[in-house]
Structure 1
């Protein structure tokens, strides 16, 4: 880790000589030093949260932190160990018994747990009602928009977070994510693991892509802060992720431990910029990813590294809020590691919430044993639990401002983001008929939008049944009926020739029919190369630099609202105001 500059050291000395115990935001195990023997004023006894080393400025005030510290201080050790764990579960019924028996902090929902809006709202309400606590449960979900949405069919779909970078309107971003968070809160969720503060490095980024607002650090930082403030305004906890940055590593931590081999100077100029802005803005929670940061703690996942979590995030960036690990079920931290040791190591590193340990019961037992053996101070668990309890209580008390319609917010974001890189910036871009093909999800969303707008949608049809391939029946008595067989074979060949002529005629008619429409090629998440008169990228826009279509458009999503906006642009009823938030070689311009 780099050394601090002399002016910063001088300012720290001044703070240490004049500040009270709560002036800092440190999250380590040791107590902060006092004012020293030369202080003339009488010493004020520290409050319960000050004794845990908890600072303010990231959400809860001192009174809220003190109440939380007193409550967790009275917990039995087993309950305290369970409180810092957030688990996943199987099925679509509320996992009341698991949460209650292990005294878990809460749960995280995935697509397999969600059948409908009514069902997931009932699950969350049942948990809140039957698991009695004096503070809210941590009920989380990964609902980023774009390719990461666990509530499809139960909540409004939003475009990818990259749409905020294309729209470049922080006020719109805040309104959009406040509306989405209001919907989540009505469904009973208290936490959303979003937004992504990662800065994507481009096409070589295999994990983040359109989940990032931009490849430009300052732009990404601006949108992250705006989105997180929108979430918090609606009373939903935003968890900024994946510290210290997953957008510039060439591997997926779901599959392996990615290596970040950039220098600390380079990371400070790129990956760390949005996280520093998040800390300076007082955002309440950060998720630490599983990344081998060679410049800080070689070969140790950042989620398990005290040098990264406490040293870089808390001490260097000054973050005093809630630290959540990325999923502890991911290969980056499970391969070759004992899950019991992993749980303890993450807490010692400075994490406050252990997300999705492979077995929550095993993780809880490991924490209890570590405290009893002296390997982990009970104070560290109290510190972590107090942050969580105080923050959830603080957000539950927020008088959420009306978030507006989530559907309207999603449409407004797509309308501001849609980008035309090649072709005319105004006027009609297609005829009265269109021929969409390519990514099935995008085509399925586009067809009804085009039909509502009065466009004729041409899709290739299957050939008529009588043009299906025919084959002669096997001959059972070849010797006795040879001549009959030859007559039937000749007749079959004549029939096949006639079928082939009809198939050729049908193909010509079908191609002529499709030629009457404008070919529109859609590329989705897989980034497969498509072309046509119009090429549309519905996820990352890099594919637009590799096609030859005279008109190229990025929508950053295949939601119904995004497709409605696309149709309006194609038919000349709307201009495309967005600009590419990433570099795309091979296109004519960044936008209109």
Structure 2
């Protein structure tokens, strides 16, 4: 994969960064006595961590933080923010989105408003015809778009721009072919191998880094309650909070190792509410103690690790969920009590980013939720409906005092420090993956995840021919291709039923759920019930190996499914 040119060429901007870091390493003049309102004092930083006393002769020992930036990076961020105008500070805490594949208007807004970043959504990805005749992403054109955003937003400053994406794997993936497609996060819960989770996330993030992305709004740290969960489902690793925590932080470590900033989401927990925040406001009625034991547990931060399984996250996404125990009726993304719980109960020091501010849960709330969220405690404001109006509302809030100047300074300092951290990580990663190509790792994950809950383990589940029903056209085509590649005939023989994101059971010789496994409850199969946890090519290859008896299904259910308890499998 061709690397993003702006990330590797030598420019005056990069020379300034090198000189800055050399000066920091020598203990020189970044410890200025005067700070703007809201910048760290001599005793505390914006994140509440101790800062070193000024010294003209000795290099200060970087203070340990749980979220990534070194002390000198946080100090340099405070210095940069102290020199910004109010308009520049307001821009740094905003991440815009745009519609369609023409970024011209968004590029103009990024320059005019001094924006911190942009998120690339599915409809922004240019398409082309691939070598196999199918449609896919035009990665060359996408690289050019990302490069244009980075050049625009990075001009005149010494830290990278936020160019983010939602690339979880499974159902939430803005980029597919020709990049590697990944199984659902629940596949990794079924495999239950945190080293594999970290390796896969590193490979996924390496592909993103190669295109110029600096941020991925993943992994999902929600703990699903099962079939009553309307939106998370197989985006969750498990219904067990401890397992979710282990895999979420392994994924964080893998992404950091590739130089891409991850975000745990969606605090205070979207897996245990029964309303989809894309369309309405979910209400969480659990007690504070109950939330700490379950929904908040995966957001607790490990100590002092920057990469590998168990890494601390630099960013947490706050969802649009009203919590009765915090501030009844108010979405957490707009609630000072929710941000207080994230900081005080959970102990999170990094960047708090809102979920997308254009979602249905906020339709009946504040007229400009971006300004409300910032005042409440958000540091980064994602996808306001109108980024120009959001920018103006922040400036108006500064003017009338509803947004204290210190609050904006704190938020901007955290964001800038995080992006300085990202630049260091990207330099350390060098774009290298741990082992193997992304396609190889995706196949390894798929094979580790396939879960069989009935039938003879390791024995053939079908004969020499299969009929494929259910799923969608692409599912059927992918299974047919994998079956024919393995020597099976397609069109007659044993019936293999594919179930997508559905709760409806089915019957056949083999019944296979492709996303969450809920439909296994009530399904009947003469040969076997299988949970695949993925609709990507590698998952269908792994399925065919199990159908033919060439491999035993190695995964185990990470959730209860009716009469099949968590842990069921071969």
Give the drift of 1:356. Answer: 0.6
Question: Which has more radius of gyration?
Answer: 1
Give the drift of 1:337. Answer: 2.9
Which of residues 305, 317, 325 is equivalent to 2:335? Answer: 305
Question: 1:343–1:172: structure 2 CA closer, same or farther, 3 Å change rule?
Answer: same
2:226 aligned with 1:202? yes
Is the contact made by 1:351 and 1:384 (CA closer than 8 Å) also made in structure 2?
A: yes
Where in structure 2 are the equivalents of 1:201-280 lying within 5 Å?
201-277=225-301
Is the contact made by 1:26 and 1:314 (CA closer than 8 Å) also made in structure 2?
A: no
Where in structure 2 are the equivalents of 1:284-433 lying within 5 Å?
284-309=314-339, 311-339=340-368, 342-398=369-425, 399-400=428-429, 402-403=432-433, 404-433=436-465
Partner of 2:568: 590
Q: Which one is further off, 175-184 or 152-161?
A: 152-161
SS of equivalent to 2:511:
strand
Question: 1:336–1:373: structure 2 CA closer, same or farther, 3 Å change rule?
Answer: closer
SS of equivalent to 1:532:
strand
Partner of 1:101: 112
Is the contact made by 1:544 and 1:586 (CA closer than 8 Å) also made in structure 2?
A: no
Is the contact made by 2:213 and 2:260 (CA closer than 8 Å) also made in structure 1?
A: yes
Q: 2: CA distance between counterparts of 1:553 and 1:228?
A: 29
- In structure 2, runs of 5+ residues without a counterpart are 1-41, 57-62, 127-137, 305-310
Is the contact made by 1:23 and 1:55 (CA closer than 8 Å) also made in structure 2?
A: no
Give the drift of 1:335. Answer: 2.0
Is the contact made by 1:429 and 1:570 (CA closer than 8 Å) also made in structure 2?
A: yes
SS of equivalent to 2:300:
helix
SS of equivalent to 1:422:
coil
Partner of 2:185: 161
Give the drift of 1:24. Answer: 9.2
Is the contact made by 2:66 and 2:301 (CA closer than 8 Å) also made in structure 1?
A: no
Partner of 1:111: 122
Q: 2: CA distance between counterparts of 1:76 and 1:24?
A: 18
Question: 1:108–1:435: structure 2 CA closer, same or farther, 3 Å change rule?
Answer: same
- In structure 1, runs of 5+ residues without a counterpart are 1-19, 35-42, 48-53, 459-513
TM-score (norm 2): 0.83
Q: 1: CA distance between counterparts of 2:113 and 2:65?
A: 30
Pairs aligned (count): 495
Task: Identify, as 1 or 2, the structure richer in helix.
Answer: 1
Give the drift of 1:154. Answer: 4.8
Give the drift of 1:520. Answer: 0.3
Q: Which one is further off, 551-560 or 116-125?
A: 116-125
Question: 1:26–1:304: structure 2 CA closer, same or farther, 3 Å change rule?
Answer: farther
Where in structure 2 are the equivalents of 1:457-468 lying within 5 Å?
457-458=490-491
Give the drift of 1:93. Answer: 3.2
Cα RMSD after superposing both structures: 2.2
Is the contact made by 1:155 and 1:184 (CA closer than 8 Å) also made in structure 2?
A: no
Q: 1: CA distance between counterparts of 2:397 and 2:303?
A: 31
Q: Which one is further off, 388-397 or 447-456?
A: 388-397
Q: 1: CA distance between counterparts of 2:559 and 2:65?
A: 36
